[in-house]
């Protein structure tokens, strides 16, 4: 019997966000007789075990934190290469600009296949981050395979110079069974209509639009409450913006975000840019009615008026109308939520995604042998 391929996912994780949940979902559904997967999380500071490694261990997955010796320390490349050689990993599959650089160099040292999945690019004002991401887009040209999560990301990578023959779009997927296994957060839900957001509080998520829209809405509807789950550099400004109303709650980063999401009457994703967003897929899988910004990544999931509503992310008034149209027509919202669940099951499951990655891993292994 042929031994399974050995694949290690390399990431620089600081919490359980979309990319981390994506990796965990993929590893759960990879067929054990064909692919043996593991996680290496690159950490700049030695110390306690990361959330990603703890979450992987709870799921029975192999994962370690690998100390890099400091940001972009060349020793990290050597350390990862030694680990890859010791465990005979034939494919190093990286996620994010830091992991891409270190994994590509390590893969070349041990003559392994280098693969990357870009999870999207930021719109942050942080000049250093923009420089890192620009370098990463050039670096991706050197990978053996690059797997964008959406057609929009595919087109952007092609424009950045990644050769078409190295690009393989594998659309994002969500672990439907894991979403189903989560119970709504007990004793938490307020006695009113809850509009919710889950995600990082960063510029490209455009949460300001949601807060502005809600500020005007509460003057019309006194039974509404906005719950924002997540943290990030925009948290302080958003709290200040929402300070005028007591009906906006910032829950901070929560490991049980899906449990909180299941208490929402409506989920809103106002982003300027997305690949195919996991939080939106999770809400749809949980049968929570959704409203999303009218951008390419969200349009892959939401058909306006069928599986949810779309709005102009530059127009808070447009979002207000969408929220009112949803909460004032609950039966229609319920029908759209049921259709959304069907779309996730049939087109965006983690099982489907894992099948496509398994085929690609095997193809890359044959090409390198």
Average pLDDT, the chain: 92
Where does the pLDDT of residue 129 fall: very low under 50, low under 70, confident under 90, or very high at 90 and above?
Answer: confident
- Between the CA of residue 79 and those of 83, 250, 328, what are the distances in Å? 6, 40, 57
**pLDDT per residue over 323-334, tens digit each?**
999 999 999 999
**pLDDT per residue over 260-307, tens digit each?**
999 999 999 999 988 889 999 999 999 999 999 999 989 999 999 999
* pLDDT for residue 244 is more than 70: no
Q: Are 115 and 103 in contact (CB under 8 A)?
A: no
Token representation of residue 345: 């099951």
User: Which pLDDT does position 38 carry in this prediction?
Assistant: 98
Q: Which CATH architecture has domain 177-347?
A: 3-Layer(aba) Sandwich (3.40)
Residue-range domain boundaries for the chain? 5-173+349-368, 177-347
User: Which pLDDT does position 68 carry in this prediction?
Assistant: 87
H and E: helices and strands count for the chain: 15, 12
Q: Which parts of the chain are beta strand (E)?
A: 5-11, 35-43, 62-67, 91-95, 113-116, 145-146, 193-198, 224-229, 248-252, 266-269, 290-293, 309-311
**Identical fold at 5-173+349-368 and 177-347?**
yes
User: Which pLDDT does position 88 carry in this prediction?
Assistant: 96
Q: Give exposure, 220-244, as e/b (b: 16+ Cβ within 10 Å).
A: ebeebbbbbbbbbebbeebeeebee
- Between the CA of residue 286 and those of 167, 184, 231, 328, what are the distances in Å? 31, 10, 22, 20
Distance CA 266, CA 194 (A): 7
Reduced to 3 DSSP states, what percent helix, strand and coil does the chain have, rounded to the nearest 5? 45, 20, 35
Distance CA 139, CA 107 (A): 14
Average pLDDT score over residue span 115-132: 78
pTM of structure = 0.84
R_g of the chain computed on alpha carbons: 21
User: Which pLDDT does position 225 carry in this prediction?
Assistant: 93
Residue corresponding to tokens 């395979």? 145
**pLDDT per residue over 245-255, tens digit each?**
678 999 999 88
**pLDDT per residue over 191-239, tens digit each?**
789 999 999 999 999 999 999 999 888 888 888 999 999 999 999 999 9
Average pLDDT score over residue span 57-65: 95
Query: Which is nearest to 280 in space by CA: 220, 357, 343?
Result: 343
Distance CA 63, CA 53 (A): 5
Class of domain 5-173+349-368: alpha beta
Where does the pLDDT of residue 146 fall: very low under 50, low under 70, confident under 90, or very high at 90 and above?
Answer: very high
């Amino acid at each position: 019997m042929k031994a399974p391929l050995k694949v290690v996912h390399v990431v620089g994780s600081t919490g359980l966000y979309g990319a981390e949940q994506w990796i965990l979902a993929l590893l759960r559904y990879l067929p054990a007789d064909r692919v043996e997967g593991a996680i290496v999380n690159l950490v700049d500071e030695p110390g306690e075990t990361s959330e990603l490694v703890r979450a992987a261990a709870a799921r029975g997955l192999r994962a370690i934190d690998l100390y890099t010796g400091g940001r972009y320390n060349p020793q990290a490349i050597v350390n990862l290469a030694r680990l890859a050689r010791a465990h005979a990993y034939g494919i190093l599959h990286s996620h994010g600009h830091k992991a891409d650089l270190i994994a590509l160099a390590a893969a070349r040292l041990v003559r392994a296949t280098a693969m990357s999945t870009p999870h999207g690019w930021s719109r942050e004002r942080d000049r250093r981050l923009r420089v890192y991401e620009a370098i990463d887009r050039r670096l991706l040209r050197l990978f053996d395979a690059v797997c964008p999560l959406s057609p929009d990301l595919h087109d952007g990578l092609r424009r950045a110079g990644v050769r078409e023959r190295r690009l393989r779009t594998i659309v994002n997927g969500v672990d439907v069974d894991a979403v189903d296994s989560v119970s709504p957060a007990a004793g938490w839900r307020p006695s009113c209509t809850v509009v919710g957001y889950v995600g990082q509080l960063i510029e490209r998520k455009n949460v300001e639009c949601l807060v502005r829209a809600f500020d005007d809405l509460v003057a019309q509807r006194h039974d509404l409450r906005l719950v924002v789950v997540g943290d990030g550099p925009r948290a302080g400004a958003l709290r200040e913006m929402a300070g005028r109303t007591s009906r906006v709650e910032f829950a901070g980063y929560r490991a049980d975000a899906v449990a909180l999401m299941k208490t929402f009457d409506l989920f809103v994703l106002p982003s300027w840019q997305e690949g195919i967003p996991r939080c939106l897929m999770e809400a749809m899988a949980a049968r929570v009615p959704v409203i999303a910004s009218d951008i390419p990544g969200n349009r892959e999931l939401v058909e306006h008026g069928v599986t949810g509503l779309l709005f102009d992310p530059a127009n808070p008034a447009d979002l207000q109308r969408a929220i009112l149209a949803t909460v004032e027509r609950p039966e229609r919202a319920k029908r759209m939520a049921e259709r959304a669940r069907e779309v996730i099951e049939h087109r965006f499951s983690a099982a489907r995604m894992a099948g496509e990655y398994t085929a690609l891993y095997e193809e890359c292994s044959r090409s390198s042998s």
